Amino acid sequence: MIGRFSSFLRRKSDAFNRIPPLAPPSPRAGKLIGVLLLCAVFGLSYRSYFRNWVPLGPQRTVATINPKMGVHTRLTDEPDAAKIKQSLEMVREMGAPWIVEYFPWAYYEPRRGHYEWSHPDLVIDHANRQGLTVIARLGYVPEWARPEDSHHLYLEEDNYEAFGRYAVEFVNRYRDKVAYLIIWNEPNLSLEWGFRPVDPASYVKMLKVVYPMVKAAAPEVQVLAGALAPTLDPPGSEWSMNDLDYLQRMYDAGAAPYFDILAIHAYGLGFDADEPAGESVINFRRSELLREIMVRNGDGHKTAMITEGGWNDHPRWTRAVRPAERILNSVRAYEIAIAEWPWLENVCLWVFRFPWDQKSYQDYFTFVGTDFEPKAIYLEMQAYAEGRFEAP
């Protein structure tokens, strides 16, 4: 069998040798081929670089009667540069100078020490050019930094330093463009804590690792902590911990020196913006209870930011309000921030736009459609920012 195979190879080899070799190209033809190859390489590089590029345009500023207006954008999964630019232009045109945007660690450090900054470059450069102040939310664990098959929000304490290194790389790159970082999101929900029991002390350990690293790299960058989900789950719930209890436990664990600003999530649900705060109710003014905890723990000199919040006008979600109520409450929220809460730097309402329809109640939190058609609430917020808002 082997002899037969050798014979086959020999015959193939002979047949190959009978093919006449190509004549060497002339020097002129060689030069032409070289030029063509160079053009092809240049063309491909140009196309690759510019295929998702749109000009930044002139430097803009936000015109508004209320400098505390803000929105949470959701450009994380929006790859199209033109759409990123259009979103941020529309935020500016609405009159909101602040945006919160999510910069997932797993997206931008997919391999340990290997960073991909092209997408955040787009978002941050366009936001800056539109005159918007970016508050960067960091989280989402890459596969290499967590056990196999674990949840993407599962981060063990051993890897807090790796998360800190990502934060440092982020501030090193954007220190002139991004002045605010939110460390993690809603750690008082089991869902956001990798489906483990929530653990305020462990979250504070994260702050104790990440905060000094960020400050060593860029002392001027302000670190936000908390971003707690408002919840009324009873003690011992497997799903979450009451946000008021969680914040106090953060202080008990020594969090105070490890954040500069408290991030607050302030959803109004079915209540008016002026509904009084109460420990057993989730409404917009629950923010005042979080503020009281800050003051009680000696953090009265610090400020807070509402980095998520607002109302929903879904026709069938049980926690939604009518569209008219959503408009009135949103305007009132911005007014409360500027008139009543000097300790609050901004109100960033959830959520400006999604890259695609969620086909759920989440679509009724947005200000513009996925096709950029402005919803009525967008136009009313714009009217408010221009000082011409008038309810019918």
Partner 1 sequence: MNEEGVRVERVPPQGETAGAGRQWLVAASHGSRGTAFSVRDSFKRRPLLWLAVSIAALALAGWLILRTGGPAVDGTWLRMQERGSWRVGMDPSFPPFETLDAEGAPVGYDVDLAREIAAEWGLEAEIVAIGYDSLLDALLVDRVDAVISAFPYNARMTKDVHYSPPYFEAGVRLVVGAGAAYEEVGDLEGGTVAVEWGSRGDAIARRLQREGAGFTRLPFESTEKAIEALLSGASNALLIDGVTLRLAQGEGKRIRAVGAVLDEDPYVIAVSIEAPKLQSALLQALAALEEEGRMELLEERWFGQVSGQEE
Q: Using the 8-state DSSP alphabet, how is residue 209 labeled?
A: H
Q: Using the 8-state DSSP alphabet, how is residue 273 labeled?
A: T
Q: Which of 47, 220, 318, 388 binds partner 1 (CB under 8 A)?
A: 318
Which residue shows structure tokens 């033109």? 82
Q: Measured from the CB of residue 356, what is the shortest distance to partner 1 in angstroms?
A: 6
Identify the burial level of 177 via C-beta atoms within 10 angstroms of its C-beta, where 0-12 means exposed, 13-18 middle and 19 or more buried. Answer: middle
Q: Are the C-beta atoms of residues 313 and 352 closer than 8 Å to each other?
A: no
Binding of partner 1 by 280 (CB under 8 A) = no
How is 121-169 classified by DSSP, letter by letter?
HHHHHHHHHTTPEEEEEEE---GGGS-TT--TT---GGGHHHHHHHHHH
Q: Which of 24, 55, 234, 235 binds partner 1 (CB under 8 A)?
A: 24
Binding of partner 1 by 326 (CB under 8 A) = yes
Q: Measured from the CB of residue 167, what is the shortest distance to partner 1 in angstroms?
A: 32
Residue 320 exposure: Cα atoms within 13 Å on the Cβ side: 16
Q: Measured from the CB of residue 95, what is the shortest distance to partner 1 in angstroms?
A: 17
Among 85-93, 105-113, 296-304, 309-317, the segment contacting partner 1 (CB under 8 A): 309-317
Q: Measured from the CB of residue 233, what is the shortest distance to partner 1 in angstroms?
A: 17
Nearer to partner 1, 168 or 324 (CB): 324
Cα-Cα end-to-end distance for the chain:
93
Closest CA to 352 of 94, 66, 64, 72: 72
Binding of partner 1 by 234 (CB under 8 A) = no
Nearer to partner 1, 14 or 220 (CB): 14
Q: Which structure tokens are listed for 178?
A: 């991004």
Nearer to partner 1, 86 or 202 (CB): 86
Q: Which of 2, 3, 5, 17 binds partner 1 (CB under 8 A)?
A: 17
Residues in 149-208 that interact with partner 1 by CB under 8 A: none
Residues 6+ apart with CB under 8 A from 34: none
Find the helix packing angle between 200-217 and 160-174, rounded to 10°. Answer: 40
Nearer to partner 1, 3 or 235 (CB): 3
Classified as helix, coil or strand, 188 is coil
Nearer to partner 1, 32 or 376 (CB): 376
Binding of partner 1 by 323 (CB under 8 A) = yes
Which residue shows structure tokens 């497997």? 238
How many whole angstroms separate alpha carbon 68 and alpha carbon 344? 8
Closest CA to 226 of 197, 194, 266, 177: 266
Nearer to partner 1, 297 or 358 (CB): 358
Among 88-96, 159-167, 185-193, 322-330, the segment contacting partner 1 (CB under 8 A): 322-330
Binding of partner 1 by 374 (CB under 8 A) = yes
Q: Which of 157, 322, 386, 387 binds partner 1 (CB under 8 A)?
A: 322
Identity of the amino acid at 263: A
Residues in 96-125 that interact with partner 1 by CB under 8 A: none
Q: Which of 81, 327, 347, 385 binds partner 1 (CB under 8 A)?
A: 327
Binding of partner 1 by 375 (CB under 8 A) = yes
How many C-beta neighbours within 10 Å does residue 366 have?
A: 21
Q: Measured from the CB of residue 154, what is the shortest distance to partner 1 in angstroms?
A: 21
x/- mask, partner 1, residues 333-372, rule CB under 8 A, reads -----------------------xx-xxx-----------
Nearer to partner 1, 128 or 382 (CB): 382
Identify the burial level of 270 via C-beta atoms within 10 angstroms of its C-beta, where 0-12 means exposed, 13-18 middle and 19 or more buried. Answer: middle
| Residues that bind partner 1 in the complex, under the rule CB under 8 A | 14, 17-21, 24, 26, 313, 315-318, 322-324, 326-327, 356-357, 359-361, 373-377, 379-380, 391-392
